[in-house]
Homo-oligomer: A and B are copies of this chain.
Amino acid sequence: MARINENYLKLPGSYLFSAIGEKVRRYEALHPEADVIRLGIGDVTLPIAPKIIEALHAAVTEMGEADSFRGYAPDLGYDFLRNEIARKDYQEKGCRISPDEIFVSDGAKCDCANIQEIFGTDNVIGVCDPVYPVYVDSNVMAGRTGEYDACSGRYRGVIYMPCTAENGFVPELPAEVPDLIYLCFPNNPTGAVMTKEKLQGWVDYAKAHDSVILYDAAYEAYISEPGIPHSIYECDGARECAVEFRSFSKTAGFTGLRLGFTVIPKELEAGGIRLHPLWARRHGTKYNGAPYIIQRAGEAVYSEKGQQQIREQIAWYMGNAGIISEGLQAAGYRVSGGVNAPYIWLAVPEGMTDWEFFDFLLEKANVVGTPGSGFGPGGAGYFRLTAFGNREKTIEAMERIRSI
């Protein structure tokens, strides 16, 4: 008799964004005249930059002609893209990463979710609280956690690393040592960043304890201040203890095109066994490469014009972030994030839960955000707004919030 993977039953019901969607739909059905502004979900809104569109068209044309048609892509990505990534994202920035350490994929979400497969189920994971839910849920599914405890909102057997206003939303090195440490900086959902010194501390900690850091750098392109590392490989010794995930989603608006990559340095080992060939084997067995035309689009991101165009887009989004930060502060809220990240994290007013604040904002200002507790119990009392909205709507949302 076939039996299911019972770990799935540990996952509590509905996904955060489905719950939000449902609430908004219900509100709109009751108030069809309301002009609801969505600043909740982290999806981009600007169209793909012209240089990238050009590359996509050219690649599509190639696929339609006998001489230039391409079938299966190399499992780990085309060299033309891996070379650009290694050079522009790492080598030119002083990080020693070679093209064959880059594994091209269809996005950082998939990679972040799948990476745990190459580790034993007996590894204990450490995650920030609040946290991007994918890190936790993928480990729940794999049986690397105990049951969900509805009271604490936490899974048993997971080391939660609190990110609070007191520590500037940057976790302390935990006393109980995780085997696998998930870090995401610039952070989703808080928008917080780590200084290079702080990140070096994590690298040293991981090396001292033979832990592996799974470093999600999906938002590195939004860093505007100096002294904030774009890659964990800026830290000494990171090649021996860290995997890094990158995404084209927020960097170049690829949420609907799907492209990302994972870096696994060849020195990196767990229990004396190198991770690079394991991930290569996983890719070869369970994945079939990102589409050729999308990889050409990725290549165009690294061209001079592509870089200029995506930087303009990022600057534009960060303009939104500034408007939100200032607007909320003018309205009397305590905010953080929004300087080196497209996320603004605000403390909800005293005496309200974050879900009550969600309802309050939806009803009084017709503005949708994301309750912090959706990212874990450590997010309770906070609220996430994103800079990816339309400019006019963002301005109007702030005006409405100021006036309530």
Contact = CB atoms under 8 A, between A and B. Distances in A.
Contacts of A63: 47-48, 53, 56, 256-257
Interface residues of A, number: 81
A60 interface: yes
Interface string A88-126: 000000000000000000110110011001111111000
B113 A285 contact: yes
Interface string A55-87: 011001101111011111100000000000000
A151 B229 CA distance: 52
Contact of A64 (B50, B121, B288): B50
Given A53-B60, A141-B117, A134 B2 contact: no
A309 to B, nearest CB: 11
B288 A109 contact: yes
B271 A118 contact: no
A46 B56 CA distance: 20
Contacts of A122: 3
A282 interface: yes
Interface string A256-280: 1110000000000011010100100
Contacts of A68: 47
Say how many copies of this protein the assembly contains.
2
B64 A291 contact: no
A307 interface: no
A286 to B, nearest CB: 4
B286 A123 contact: no
B288 A118 contact: no
A71 B117 CA distance: 28
A292 interface: yes
Nearest to A273: B4
Contact of A255 (B71, B258, B273): B71
Interface string A19-47: 00000000000000000000001011111
A45 B65 contact: no
B43 A69 contact: no
B60 A45 contact: no
5 contacts: A1-B271, A8-B278, A11-B281, A43-B71, A257-B291
Given A5-B118, A70-B256, A258-B291, 8 more contacts: A2-B179, A8-B281, A47-B65, A71-B255, A72-B256, A133-B285, A138-B286, A258-B289
Interface of A: 1-6, 8-9, 11, 15, 41, 43-48, 50, 53, 56-57, 60-61, 63-66, 68-73, 106-107, 109-110, 113-114, 117-123, 133-134, 137-138, 141, 143, 179-180, 209-212, 253, 255-258, 270-271, 273, 275, 278, 281-282, 284-294
